[in-house]
Amino acid sequence: EADIYQTPRYLVIGTGKKITLECSQTMGHDKMYWYQQDPGMELHLIHYSYGVNSTEKGDLSSESTVSRIRTEHFPLTLESARPSHTSQYLCASSYDGGTEAFFGQGTRLTVV
Amino acid sequence: AQSVTQLGSHVSVSEGALVLLRCNYSSSVPPYLFWYVQYPNQGLQLLLKYTSAATLVKGINGFEAEFKKSETSFHLTKPSAHMSDAAEYFCAAELINTGRRALTFGSGTRLQVQP
């Protein structure tokens, strides 16, 4: 069973609000990722990290930001939520190359 | 740039029939390859992975996949479909020998199993 947790599972919030999606893992993985997934669609990498104080942007441009102050924690922040941010956000973590990435349950964000 | 292509966004089979989900990758160096399954409102769960060992890889729930370098393919199969196999399936690749080590996903294939 994967030990990676995302909170909240569901979030409905008004336009212009600041939000932080939490992701934590207890497996000691150095690599962590955020993917964005619209319903029934593919996953797009928006952020990743190779370790503490390392963050990189992914393939899909995103207005969100991330931080990696602790190995186990990789929160994603939107300073001002907009309806276009409505989507599912999946966090994942892994050891180095060729190893399985473990996924959290996801956060389904709706901005109204 | 690497890409992962899944042919067929929807596949429907009868219970007990063969399941075949197609995946092709495009990179000059064979990447690590993975198949994940996603049930509604859930995260992704690994079915199996190829990391340059055996070309025929067996995974959970009776699934297996064969890596074919000549065809740049990594198709997923299961001899006999169960109703519980209905889900979204994603093929993913991780490039080797690059600075970036993150999974690139295909667009997914929704498997329906008819009784």
Of B41, B46, B52, the CB nearest to A100: B46
Of A40, A41, A103, the CB nearest to B43: A103
Q: How deeply is A83 buried, as exposed, middle or buried, from its count of CB atoms within 10 A (0-12, 13-18, 19+)? A: exposed
pLDDT in tens, B38-71: 998 788 999 999 987 788 999 999 999 999 999 9
Nearest-by-CA chain A residue for B5: A42
What are the angstrom distances between the C-alpha of A20 and each of A6, A43, A51, B51? 11, 20, 20, 35
Residues of B in contact with A105 (CB under 8 A): 41-43
In order along its 115 residues, chain B shows pLDDT tens digits of 568 999 999 999 999 999 999 999 987 777 889 999 999 878 899 999 998 778 899 999 999 999 999 999 999 999 999 999 999 999 999 877 666 677 889 999 999 999 9
What are the angstrom distances between the C-alpha of B24 and each of A92, A102, A110, B76? 23, 23, 33, 11
Tokens (6 digits) for A97: 């190359």
pLDDT in tens, A39-98: 778 889 999 999 999 999 988 888 999 999 999 999 999 999 999 999 999 999 998 766
Q: Are A15 and A81 in contact (CB under 8 A)?
A: yes
Residues of A in contact with B103 (CB under 8 A): 33, 45, 92, 101
Phi, psi of A97 (to 5 degrees): -40, 135
Residue A25 has pLDDT above 90, yes or no: yes
CA angle in degrees (0–180, nearest 5) for A50-A95-A6 = 75
Nearest-by-CA chain B residue for A91: B43
Give the β-pairing of A4-7 and A19-25.
Answer: antiparallel
Phi, psi of B85 (to 5 degrees): -80, -10
Amino acid in the structure at residue B109: T
Q: How far apart are CA A28 and CA A2, in angstroms?
A: 12
